[in-house]
Amino acid sequence: MSKDAYIYKALPGSPDGSLLFVFHGTGADESQLLSLGRDLGPQATIVSPRGDVSEHGAARFFRRTGEGVYDMGDLARATDKMVGFVKAHVEAAKPSSVLGLGYSNGANILASVVFAAPSLFDAAVLMHPLI
């Protein structure tokens, strides 16, 4: 998978520092959690992907079939894609640690990635997930 699999924003950090991925909630974009990420990790390199699914114009990381009901096939697709995206950034940066922070739908995709690839993140913060 490519580092460019998603539209994303990145904020540079210390070359030997942590790599912090931040995942926005439904309807937000890659800018939502950048400042929080910088506050939490002033020396971290921050990568913030935009969800690649649109639900009535609201960006998400995977589809759902109803309120609170996941499209499990699309969740599997999105999880595989995100694992590849994160791995590509980790391989390029060679960080001291890999951290994840997700809100709402972003917390859901982060949780799914952590379950699918438990060694990929050193720590994760899930804010308001539905898991």
Give residue 29's pLDDT.
Answer: 98
Give residue 67's pLDDT.
Answer: 86
Fold topology of 8-127: Rossmann fold (3.40.50)
What is the reported pTM? Answer: 0.96
Give the pLDDT confidence of 2-54 residue by residue, as tens digits.
Answer: 999 999 999 999 999 999 999 999 999 999 999 999 999 999 999 999 999 99
Give the pLDDT confidence of 43-91 residue by residue, as tens digits.
Answer: 999 999 999 999 999 999 999 998 889 999 999 999 999 999 999 999 9
Distance CA 8, CA 2 (A): 12
Give the pLDDT confidence of 94-109 residue by residue, as tens digits.
Answer: 999 999 999 999 999 9
Give residue 35's pLDDT.
Answer: 98
**Ramachandran quadrant class, 68 (left: phi over 0; alpha: psi -120 to 50; beta: rest):** left
Give residue 37's pLDDT.
Answer: 98
Place of tokens 């993140």: 121
Domain map of the chain by residue range? 8-127
DSSP 89-100: HHHHH--S-EEE
Give residue 53's pLDDT.
Answer: 98
Distance CA 38, CA 116 (A): 27
